């Protein structure tokens, strides 16, 4: 537990540093997301034993690293994935005896999902130069807060198992508690930001923050359970060992991958 807390605290301060540096060096967030995406794709390839197929593994990692920067080029994301599609299908054709189509598809799918989902954090930042980082942090910290709320609520009040086969420790009470804690945290975050950083053109729609809180609590559990199914199918405990006490990038950011697009959607729909 001590190692887990230290690692979690370190991650938090890294995010704080990114927020502070963003004003003078905005590319810092793009670089961070590129690193997270490429490591996440690598971890997935390793879980599926696809890391031995260099013609699939290496292009997948490169694409994951490029997506956060593709927005600087017109139709950049489309161009990146058009070339990537050619590359992976060429890999299957070239190495059809060793690399099966059924092995390529999961890696291809996750190389689309992971970088694009995490890139919504960059998109949230770019919504507004003055307060976009606030929205970006909601997408990252929101799922973690919901997860912590679910953990502690489940520890004290949990009696009914949510998904006993996939994740034996998750409870219905913890799930509900996570949503409640997440909603309260989003509302408090909005209130504090509104009071400390008065921005003339920014008016929080608190119903939108509450919706973000509900989504954090619900969607993060879906993301966590989805990646847990993969680990169970592949017989692995963690995706990696990069973050002591937490596992790999996919172990820590699985819920963020699912939540970030929804936070972006809410922010855009409500015009915050």
Instruction: Give pLDDT tens digits along the chain (272 positions).
Output: 566 667 667 777 788 788 878 878 889 999 999 999 999 999 999 999 999 899 999 999 999 999 999 989 999 999 999 999 999 999 899 888 888 888 899 999 999 999 999 999 999 999 887 778 888 998 999 998 999 899 889 888 888 898 888 888 899 999 999 999 999 999 998 888 877 765 555 566 788 899 999 999 999 999 999 999 999 999 999 998 888 877 899 999 999 999 999 999 999 988 76
The whole-number pLDDT of residue 202 equals: 58
pLDDT score of 95 = 87
* C-alpha to C-alpha distance for 199 and 217, rounded to whole angstroms: 28
pTM for this prediction? 0.91
Rounded CA separation 211/105 (Å)? 34
DSSP state of 130: T
Phi, psi of 247 (to 5 degrees): 110, -135
**How far is 135 from 139, CA to CA, in rounded Å?**
7
| pLDDT at residue 197, as a whole number | 66
Helix (H) or strand (E) segment spanning residue 183: helix 172-196
From CA 15, how far away is CA 132, in angstroms rounded? 14
Q: What pLDDT, on a 0 to 100 scale, did the predictor assign at position 272?
A: 66
């Amino acid at each position: 537990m001590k190692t887990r807390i230290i690692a979690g605290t370190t991650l938090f301060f890294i995010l704080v540093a990114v927020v502070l540096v963003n004003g003078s060096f905005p590319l810092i967030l793009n670089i961070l997301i590129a690193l997270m995406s490429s490591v996440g794709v690598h971890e997935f390839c390793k879980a599926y034993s696809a890391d031995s197929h260099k013609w699939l593994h290496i292009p997948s990692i490169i694409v994951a690293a490029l997506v956060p920067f593709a927005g600087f080029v017109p139709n950049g994301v489309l161009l990146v994935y058009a070339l990537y599609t050619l590359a992976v299908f060429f890999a299957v054709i070239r190495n059809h005896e060793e690399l099966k189509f059924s092995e390529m598809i999961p890696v291809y799918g996750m190389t689309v999902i992971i970088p694009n989902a995490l890139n919504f954090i960059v998109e949230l930042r770019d919504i507004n130069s003055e307060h976009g980082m606030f929205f970006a942090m909601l997408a990252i910290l929101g799922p973690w807060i919901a997860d912590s709320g679910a953990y502690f609520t489940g520890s004290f009040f949990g009696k009914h198992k949510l998904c006993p086969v996939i994740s034996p420790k998750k409870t219905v009470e913890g799930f509900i508690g996570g949503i409640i804690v997440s909603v309260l945290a989003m509302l408090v975050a909005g209130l504090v930001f509104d009071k400390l950083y008065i921005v003339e053109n920014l008016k929080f729609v608190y119903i939108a923050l509450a919706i973000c809180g509900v989504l954090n609590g619900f969607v993060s559990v879906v993301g966590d359970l989805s990646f847990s199914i993969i680990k169970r199918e592949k017989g692995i405990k963690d995706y990696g060992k990069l973050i002591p006490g937490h596992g790999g990038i996919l172990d820590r950011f699985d819920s963020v991958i699912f939540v970030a697009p929804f936070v972006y959607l809410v922010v855009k729909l409500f015009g915050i």
